[in-house]
Amino acid sequence: MRSLPILLLAGFAGLAAQTGDDPVFRSKLQPVLQKNCVACHSGANSQGGLSVTTLDSLITGGKHGTAVQPGDSKTSLLMQYVRGEKSPKMPLGGSLTAEDAAALAAAIDDLKPSAKRSGENDPHFAWLRKPPEPPPIPATRRAGWIKNPIDAFILARLESKGLVPAPAASRRALIRRIYFDLVGLPPSVEAVEGFVKSTAPDAYEQLVDKLLASEQYGERWGRHWLDLVRFAESDGFAIDGERPTAWRYRDYVIRSFNHDKPYDQFVMEQIAGDEGGERGASDDRSDRLVALGFLRMGTWEADANFKTQLRQDFLNEITGTTSSVFLGLTVGCARCHDHKYDPIPQRDFYRMQAFFCGDSNRRASGSVHQG
């Protein structure tokens, strides 16, 4: 831990300069870490997952948690290991001089307690972590055109471009739009004529309610969800074997849309439908088990030679898809490195994956896919 190759030192200094770390870190903390710690705690294979190359990485910490608490050396894990309050004492095989230990503690105490990881000031990260809030309804000049709050946003954008709304659709065009949107099929001639000739003041509302209550509604809108969860009735790859019971999951999704199933229940059933009953007396365990088909929809290379790699590929696919579908975050790149665009470190990718690994005794024999 005390040895420090010249190239490593140069690379460390360059990296620190690029990150724009706190001046206290650069002038006081970094020199001590360069001298004593960087040989083991830098690069892709940092011991314990801790890198000391930047203030960000110290605050992020390793497998034991945040290494440095800015402004408080006493509670900082780094100092606790240096002092021998936690085992093993650092640096391994030696110890810091009294001067270096004192300088390290003083530097941590001099850091501003509000020091944050640079990513936390990134507008994109801030947007990801901020709970959604309803935006204010914009004011418009043609208030009489607005029938619901969504109209106000459309009209405001049109007016900002100097445009005016298009004329109202004819009843013949309107019924076709409704049918294609809600059930994906054109209306019959009889349905069109009936809607055109209807004098009922709520004819539009009646038509919408009728189509929302039809089975075709779930078939139409369930397809959007099936696309998200990579539904297929075959395995993919060269063999592309048939999945003869995949339709059960497809029909579960359609039923959920047609029965207006609460979204939180819909999510829970697909991720952990085997873990417990749902709200209400109509709970159907068999339906919840079918919902777990979500976890079996990934591609599967049946003729793969390396079964262990096949299982790992499948687990990676489940983890990435679950995050993108239910969290709205793409985390697939974090399989190999801390993610560049979303605040997902590599260790969190595998922490999440652990939920899908199951019993450690399950071998790479295809049981993950076939079970």
- Residue 223: its pLDDT value, please? 95
Of 27, 42, 104, give the one whose Cα is nearest residue 73: 104
User: 62-71, 83-92, 275-284, 289-298: which has the minimum mean pLDDT?
Assistant: 275-284
- Residue 121: its pLDDT value, please? 57
- Residue 358: its pLDDT value, please? 74
Other Cβ atoms closer than 10 A to 28: 18
Tokens 């944050």 correspond to: 116
Mean pLDDT of the chain: 82
- The Cα–Cα gap between 139 and 123 comes to 27
- The Cα–Cα gap between 371 and 362 comes to 10
DSSP designation for 355: H
- Residue 128: its pLDDT value, please? 66
Question: What number of H helices and E strands is found in the chain?
Answer: 18, 0
Give the HSE-up count for residue 261: Cα atoms under 13 Å, Cβ half-sphere: 25
Q: Report the DSSP beta bridge partners of residue 62.
A: 65
Look at the alpha carbons of 293, 294, 295, 299 in this order and tell me if their dihedral is positive or negative. Answer: positive
- Residue 365: its pLDDT value, please? 38
| Residue 347: pLDDT band with limits 50, 70, 90 | confident
| Residue 203: pLDDT band with limits 50, 70, 90 | very high
Tokens 């019971």 correspond to: 245
> Alpha helix (H) ranges present in 63-170?
77-82, 98-110, 123-129, 149-160
Amino acid at 350: Y
| Residue 259: pLDDT band with limits 50, 70, 90 | very high
Give the HSE-up count for residue 109: Cα atoms under 13 Å, Cβ half-sphere: 9
| Residue 343: pLDDT band with limits 50, 70, 90 | confident
Find out whether 138 and 153 touch, Cβ atoms under 8 Å: yes
- Residue 120: its pLDDT value, please? 52
pLDDT above 60 (res 184): yes
Which among 145-149, 172-176, 341-345 has the top mean pLDDT?
A: 172-176
Can you give the residue ranges of every domain in the chain?
6-118, 122-167, 171-213, 218-370
Q: Is this model's pTM higher than 0.85 or not?
A: no
pLDDT above 70 (res 25): yes
- Residue 118: its pLDDT value, please? 47
- Residue 176: its pLDDT value, please? 97
Find out whether 349 and 317 touch, Cβ atoms under 8 Å: no
242 phi and psi, to 5 degrees?
A: -75, 145
- The Cα–Cα gap between 48 and 89 comes to 13
Distances from the Cα of 259 to the Cαs of 195, 210, 338, in angstroms?
Answer: 26, 14, 41
pLDDT digits (tens, 9 = 90+) for 303-322: 888 888 888 989 999 999 99
pLDDT digits (tens, 9 = 90+) for 68-108: 888 888 888 888 888 888 888 888 877 888 888 888 888 88
How many Å from the N-terminal Cα to the C-terminal Cα in the chain?
A: 47
> How many residues are recorded in the chain?
371
